[in-house]
């Protein structure tokens, strides 16, 4: 079965994230039709069952959780969407993702979370050996805290007896690679994407239209707790959101 999955799906993470990004693009593409056709929007939401089951079939538990997050975000009210579509929310979420590993053992011991991990996802409470890495991550960060070890380093393999080649947490991996200066630069980049010096306010309709891409961005942030999800697909969606906001602002300035 394992060989058949890889034959048809290839790398389970890459394939799952492709499908999640596709569902985001579908939302953006058909948003205008969703506004006037409630049945079509309900069918779109129902299609997430296929996405979730596909991710489950190829045994990508991270993408299962990410797909569920995306589905739930389709039900968010316009008021909530407007509050979440913010560089501050993104940065705070990323910081929380980096620090949450300090409490992750206690979190997975919560009864309903334990049930979901073991009985629904079919994973173990050790998160496939990730705690071996998490217990040492901040010690590794302390070795080169300001500029990191550099891109493509083997710090995890060198300092942790584990078969994983990375930190299994996107935020901490970024700090290991580029240090605190790199983390600050990353935060400034996100801020630049969302903060524009203008009096033009982004309308509710524009927020709803771009929400599909933002669902993918936010789900990847959640998934980054236990995986390296800050990849080219994540950055593509993030820059797409930023580019769209910039376009709306520029149009507003011209008017």
- What does the mean pLDDT of the chain come to? 87
Mean pLDDT over residues 207-236, rounded?
A: 93
The fraction of the chain above a pLDDT of 90, given in percent, is 49
In the structure, what pLDDT confidence band is assigned to residue 183 with cuts at 50, 70 and 90?
very high
In the structure, what pLDDT confidence band is assigned to residue 9 with cuts at 50, 70 and 90?
low
Reduce the secondary structure of the chain to three states and give it as a string: CHHHHHHHHCCHHHHHHHHHHHHHHHHHHCHHHHHHCHHHHHHHHHHHHHHHHHHHHCCCHHHHHHHHHHHHHCCCCHHHHHHHCCHHHHHHHHHHHHHHHHCHHHHHCCHHHHHHHHHHCCCCCCCCCHHHHHCCHHHHHHHCCCCCCCCCCCHHHHHCCCCCCCCCCHHHHHHHHHHHHHHHHHHHHHHHHHCCCCCCCCCHHHHHHHHHHHHHHHHHHHHCCCCCCCCHHHHHHHHHHHHHHHHHHHHHHHC
In the structure, what pLDDT confidence band is assigned to residue 249 with cuts at 50, 70 and 90?
low
In the structure, what pLDDT confidence band is assigned to residue 196 with cuts at 50, 70 and 90?
low
Q: pLDDT of 64-98, one tens digit each?
A: 999 999 999 999 998 899 889 888 999 999 999 98
What is the model's pLDDT at position 194?
A: 75
What is the model's pLDDT at position 165?
A: 80
What is the model's pLDDT at position 203?
A: 76
Mean pLDDT over residues 196-223, rounded?
A: 83
What is the model's pLDDT at position 182?
A: 94
Mean pLDDT over residues 164-183, rounded?
A: 91
Q: Within a 10 A sphere around the Cβ of 4, how many other Cβ atoms?
A: 8
| Among candidate residues 139, 151, 63, 154, the one with its CA nearest the CA of residue 102 | 139
Q: pLDDT of 108-152, one tens digit each?
A: 889 899 999 888 888 888 887 788 888 888 899 999 999 999 988
Q: pLDDT of 44-69, one tens digit each?
A: 999 999 999 999 988 899 999 999 99
**Cα 174 from chain centroid (whole Å):** 14
Give the lowest-confidence range in 66-80, 156-170, 175-189: 156-170
Residue 248 has pLDDT above 90, yes or no: no
In the structure, what pLDDT confidence band is assigned to residue 193 with cuts at 50, 70 and 90?
confident
Please give the angle made by the CA atoms of 243, 245 and 248, to the nearest 5 degrees. Answer: 110
Residue 159 has pLDDT above 90, yes or no: no
């Amino acid at each position: 079965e394992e060989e058949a999955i890889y034959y048809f799906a290839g790398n389970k993470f890459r394939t799952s994230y492709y499908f999640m990004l596709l569902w985001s693009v579908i939302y953006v593409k058909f948003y205008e039709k969703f506004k006037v056709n409630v049945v079509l929007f309900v069918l779109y939401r129902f299609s997430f069952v296929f996405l979730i089951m596909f991710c489950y079939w190829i045994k990508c538990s991270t993408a299962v959780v990410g797909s569920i997050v995306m589905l739930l975000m389709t039900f968010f009210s316009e008021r909530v969407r407007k509050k979440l579509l913010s560089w501050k929310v993104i940065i705070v979420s990323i910081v929380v993702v980096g620090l949450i590993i300090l409490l992750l053992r206690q979190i997975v011991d919560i009864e309903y979370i334990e049930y979901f991990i073991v009985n629904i996802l079919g994973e173990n409470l050790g998160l496939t050996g990730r705690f071996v890495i998490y217990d040492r991550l901040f010690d590794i960060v302390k070795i080169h805290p300001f500029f990191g070890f550099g891109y493509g380093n083997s710090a995890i393999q060198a300092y942790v007896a584990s078969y994983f080649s990375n930190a299994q947490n996107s935020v901490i991996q970024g700090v290991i690679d580029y240090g605190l200066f790199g983390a600050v630069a990353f935060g400034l980049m996100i801020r630049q994407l969302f903060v524009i010096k203008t009096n033009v306010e982004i309308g509710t309709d524009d927020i709803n239209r771009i929400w599909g891409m933002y669902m993918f961005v936010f789900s990847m942030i959640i998934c980054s707790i236990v995986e390296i999800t800050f990849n080219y697909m994540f950055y593509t969606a993030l820059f797409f959101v930023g580019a769209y906001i910039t376009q709306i602002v520029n149009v507003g300035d011209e008017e």
